[in-house]
Amino acid sequence: MGEPHPGRVVIGEPELRGRIAELGQAIARDYAGREPVLVGVLQGAFMFMADLVRTIPIDLATDFISLSSYEAGTRSSGRVRLVSDLSIPIADRHVLIVEDIVDTGLTLAHLKKNLEARRPKSVRACVLADKAERRQVEITLDYVGFTIPDVYVVGYGFDYGGLYRNLPYVAALEGA
């Protein structure tokens, strides 16, 4: 088996581009005239967020937050830790969380609660990949790129030990 490595493609580059453009148009329609703050969850969502904002033809602001729920390995620890906070205030703003993946829902639920305590006008979520079958908490996902099977994925921002984020597609990790 050897070292873990990217295997079969789960979401190809053309599918990513097409679906992200669709998400951008839906977000533009829903937030027209509202100037939302898109909050990217680092590090996994940086590629998705960069491509997404380029498809949204309305005024918007961006910021990033960094959370951690993974320790060593490929499964969530269940504990969410704030690593780096927002740099702009979000009170009385419409906030759209941009997340790479939701599986258990614990991290996103924690983040939504944290952001809602800051009194924004609204908090919604846009995720690239949803592993709905792993959900442990009820969470509303307002925009979903793809529903994927319960496999560990790498590429397009998803990593394994810091590797493979730079792949232009999403692939299943093999050998882990």
Angstrom CA distances, 59 to 21, 102, 173, stand at 16, 27, 37
Global pTM? 0.92
Q: Does residue 25 have a cis peptide bond before it, meaning omega lies within 30 degrees of 0? A: no
Q: How confident is the model at residue 75 (pLDDT cuts 50, 70, 90)?
A: low
Residues tagged active-site: 103
The DSSP element (H or E) to which 24 belongs, if any, is helix 13-30
Backbone angles phi, psi at 111, to 5 degrees: -65, -45
Type of residue numbered 164: Y
Is 1 a residue whose pLDDT tops 80? no
Question: Contact, 158 vs 44, CB < 8 A?
Answer: yes
- Give the Cα separation of 54 and 98 in Å (integer): 14
Q: What pLDDT is attached to residue 76?
A: 53
Q: Is the pLDDT of residue 123 over 90?
A: yes
Question: Hey, which residues does 124 pair with through a beta bridge?
Answer: 96
Report yes or no: 77 and 70 within 8 Å, Cβ to Cβ.
Answer: yes
Residue that the structure tokens 């940086």 belong to: 46
Q: Return the ∠ at Cα 50 (arms to 49 and 52), rounded to 5°.
A: 60
Percent pLDDT > 90 in the chain is 84
- Contact status, residue 112 vs residue 96, Cβ threshold 8 Å: no
Picking from 136, 125, 134, 126, the residue whose alpha carbon sits closest to that of residue 153 is 134
Contacting residues for 114 by C-beta, under 8 A, at least 6 apart: 82
Between 110 and 1, residue with greater pLDDT:
110
